Amino acid sequence: MLRSLQSGVSGVKGHQTMLDVVGNNISNVNSVGFKKSRVTFQDLLYQNMRGATAPVDNMGGTNPMQIGLGVNVAAIETIQTQGPPQYTGNRTDLAIQGDGYFIVGSGEGAFYTRAGNFVLDGNGNMVQSGTGLRLMGYKVEVDPNDPTRYIVGTDLQGINIPVGQKLEAMATTLVGFRCNLDSRVGSYLPFGFEGENITFNPVINGQEVQIGFSEGDDATGFINVTFEGSPLLSIDLIGVDSDGPVFADASGTIAIGGDSYTVTFTGSDNLLTITDGGNVVWQADLSNYFNFATFAAEDSGGNSFNFVAEFDPPGEELHLWGYDGTTLVHYYYDVTMDEEGRFKSIVLDANTTDPSPDPRTDGFTFSPVVSSGGYAITFEDSSQPAGKQVLLTLSQQLDSTHSAKLDIYDSLGNPHTLEVKWSKIGPNQWSWMAYFPDEPSLSGSSGVIGFGPDGKVSGGGTVSMDVDFGAYGADVSTITLDFSGESLGKDLVDGVTQYGSGFTTKAYYQDGYPMGVLQDFSVGQDGTIVGSYSNGRNKTLYSLPVALFANPQGLVKEGETLFSVSPNSGLPEIVTPQEGGAGSILGGTLEMANVDLTEEFVNLIMAQRGFQANARVITTSDQVLEELMNIKR
């Protein structure tokens, strides 16, 4: 039997396979996510007619003589190139731009696909259209320790989008502020000492040292001066004149770099001086940090007293020091303010025990009263004629205050307007008050916030307040007010700052919200599925991963544009889109088949011609056999 007959048969069968593959490619030209296949041929077997010989002496070598026995289909490869994306606008249609496969499955196992034609079934499950296989992803939950962050689950599960599901109300627990307080404005009230703690950092004897200046009390001194954090001078108040307080002189010594220096405070000019052998090496005028209000009054005995007034931050006590040249008196008053920062009342504290004259018995004819709609305290002298009764008016400087409003929520989702007001009380210090202007029945909170020389928060940047919403049937809420931005993962410059520029306001974050209903969802390029609720909230629901394979051509086609793992594909590596070499997710888009009709038609012609040529070999071999049979007649 002629060998060419068998070769022709193998060629016909091989090109028949090629026709089958090309036909399948063309038939799936519009199949979503379809990956075309390619046939690779190789020669089959050879019959050796004569072996090769090596050259010997003067004789040359000869090549082998072989006759081929046909063709074999060596491989049918799946070409995993990117198909063209086609925008559909359908929110459940997804495509992968780049490497990776969607993971779909049922209770019987997982499959992998590039076909992103997903729909929502009657239970809200995201399934592949036509197969019903569920799209797999990771559930995402809010971090209970940090409501601004999410925790991604570790177990793949079917993605379920429960459109119409309620999102329960959440009480506000964290409020973040981002604003600037104008450092150029003055204090909104006379506060005596501008700032609770002033620090100087002079360089003396080639060494930077720290000199501290703070307000004391009558027992430890009116002014305390520290050196490197340790007590240095205690300065007493010895009198009051028409310009303000008069202090005693004080002196001490310090050691810097092995040398001794003298530190003096002179009450006549309020200068703090450091000298070396009589030479001044550093000096500070502490009167620059005084902010006292003064007035004069007579007691019942006709003695004239000069008084200075001072508020203690955040303005809940008013102190008076009076002096007539002989007697130094000290009284303090309890001041109450409403939630909007207005004065409500001022009364002499019952614990005042300083020397006579006692204003409660034989003292002065003046008395402080609240005036100007609660924005001032006036000291009036009833012994003076009408029109001359006002001795001193302490007015709040409204241009030195700033406020911000936002809505917060209780545990039932009821909104409440929270207002925070900042008032400057000295260099780098502001008092703040948080209250509910429309609901005076709700309690607020207050405190002091400090800033460093760089304009950023240095103290009191995060505080908590308890609000009893019981009248509304809601729980008591503990609300953290963040002025620094740190609890929200922000830099200090992104919180409340104090720079020499205009006031700005932005209460940029609060984590509470009312009840809402899931209305829509979207899929981001990183695979994040975000639900949109009727209350305006967006909540991350799932993280949609993709699978990568070391050899994607080794995947097994299972039909319905599905692939399964084979021993040569490698195990799937589950990664987040746009990470680890994975592509990105395109929402509202489908990846079409990577079939090129022009290329397939050319392949079709090649398969047809190859089939025809091999068929001619068969017919020619048949004719030769027929001639052979005709030899014997």
| Per-residue pLDDT tens over the stretch 381-401 | 776 666 557 888 888 777 888
- Asked if residue 195 has pLDDT above 80, the reply is no
Strand, coil or helix: 437: coil
In this predicted structure, which of 168-177, 274-283, 336-345, 501-510 has the lowest mean pLDDT?
Answer: 336-345
- For range 204-226, the mean pLDDT: 80
Residue 81 three-state SS: coil
31-49 pLDDT, tens digit per residue, is 999 999 999 999 988 888 8
Q: What is the pLDDT of residues 285-304, one digit of tens each?
A: 888 778 788 888 877 777 78
Select from 583, 596, 563 the least CA-distant residue to 94.
Answer: 583
The C-alpha angle 18, 19, 21, rounded to 5 degrees, equals: 65
In the chain, the percentage of residues whose pLDDT exceeds 70 is 94
Q: Of 47-61, 237-251, 578-592, give the range with the top mean pLDDT.
A: 578-592
Give the pLDDT score at 356: 47
Which residue(s) pair with 120 in the sheet? 126
Average pLDDT, the chain: 86
Residue 386: the pLDDT is 60
CATH number of this structure's domain 174-185+399-510, picked from the four choices 2.60.98.20, 1.10.8.290, 2.40.50.180, 3.30.70.20: 2.60.98.20
Q: What is the pLDDT of residue 378?
A: 85
Task: Give mean pLDDT, residues 61-76.
Answer: 90
Q: Which two tokens stand for residue 217?
A: 């009390």
- pLDDT (0 to 100) of residue 197: 65
296, 282 in Cβ contact below 8 A? no
pLDDT of 257 > 80? The answer is yes
What SS3 class is residue 85? strand
Residues 6+ apart with CB under 8 A from 595: 25, 26, 28, 29, 34, 36
* pLDDT confidence of residue 187: 78
With bands split at pLDDT 50, 70 and 90, how would you rate the model's confidence at 26?
very high
Residue 475: CB partners within 8 Å, gap ≥ 6? 171, 410, 411, 469
Q: What is the pLDDT of residue 132?
A: 93
497 secondary structure, DSSP code: B
Q: How confident is the model at residue 216 (pLDDT cuts 50, 70, 90)?
A: confident
What is the mean predicted confidence (pLDDT) over 562-591? 94
Residue 85, C-beta contacts closer than 8 angstroms, at least 6 positions apart:
95, 97, 586, 589, 590, 591, 592
Name the pLDDT band for 339 (thresholds 50, 70, 90).
low
- Over range 172-199, report the average pLDDT: 80
Q: Does the pLDDT value for residue 107 go beyond 80?
A: no
**476-482 and 174-176 beta bridge pairing:** parallel
Q: Where are the beta strands (DSSP E) in 474-514?
A: 476-482, 509-510
DSSP letter assigned to residue 21:
H
Q: Is the pLDDT of residue 361 over 80?
A: no
Handedness of CA 16, 21, 26, 28 (dihedral sign): positive
Name the strand (E) or helix (H) holding 615: helix 597-630
- In percent, how much of the chain has pLDDT > 90? 41
Q: What's the pLDDT score for residue 242?
A: 86
Per-residue pLDDT, averaged over 179-198, amounts to: 77
pLDDT exceeds cutoff 50 at 357: no
Banded pLDDT at 314 (limits 50, 70, 90): low
Q: Return the residue matching tokens 């599905």.
A: 562
- The pLDDT, as a whole number, for residue 219 is 55
Residue 139: what pLDDT? Answer: 93
Domain boundaries, the chain: 3-80+594-630, 85-168+516-591, 174-185+399-510, 192-291, 293-396
Report the Cα 611 to chain-centroid distance in Å. Answer: 66
pLDDT tens track for 299-308: 777 778 888 8
Containing 608, the helix (H) or strand (E) segment is helix 597-630
Instruction: Say yes or no to pLDDT of 172 above 50.
Output: yes
525-555: per-residue pLDDT in tens? 999 999 999 988 888 999 999 999 999 999 9
